Amino acid sequence: MRVIFIRHGKTSGNLEKRYIGKTDGPLCHEGENEIASREYPDADIVVSSPMKRCIQTAELIYPNKKMKIYDGLRECDFGDFEGKNYIELSENPDYQNWIDSGGTLPFPNGEAHEDFAYRCVSAFEKAVYDNRNSESAAFIVHGGTIMAVLEKYAEPKRSFYDYQVKNGCGYITEFENGKIRIAKEIL
> Which domain, by its residues, includes 68?
2-186
pLDDT bin (cut points 50, 70, 90) of residue 171 is very high
Q: Which amino acid is at 51?
A: M
Mean pLDDT of the chain: 96
pLDDT at 120: 98
pLDDT at 28: 98
Residue 76 DSSP SS3 = coil
Q: Which amino acid is at 184?
A: K
pLDDT at 187: 84
Residues of the chain with pLDDT > 90: what percent?
97
Contact by Cβ (8 Å): 127, 68: yes
Which CATH number goes with the domain that contains 57?
A: 3.40.50.1240
For residues 56-75, average pLDDT: 97
Domain count, the chain: 1
Q: How far apart are CA 54 and CA 70, in angstroms?
A: 11
Q: Which of 142, 103, 127 is CA-nearest to residue 23?
A: 142
Predicted TM-score (pTM) of the model is 0.95
Q: How far apart are CA 135 and CA 115, in angstroms?
A: 30
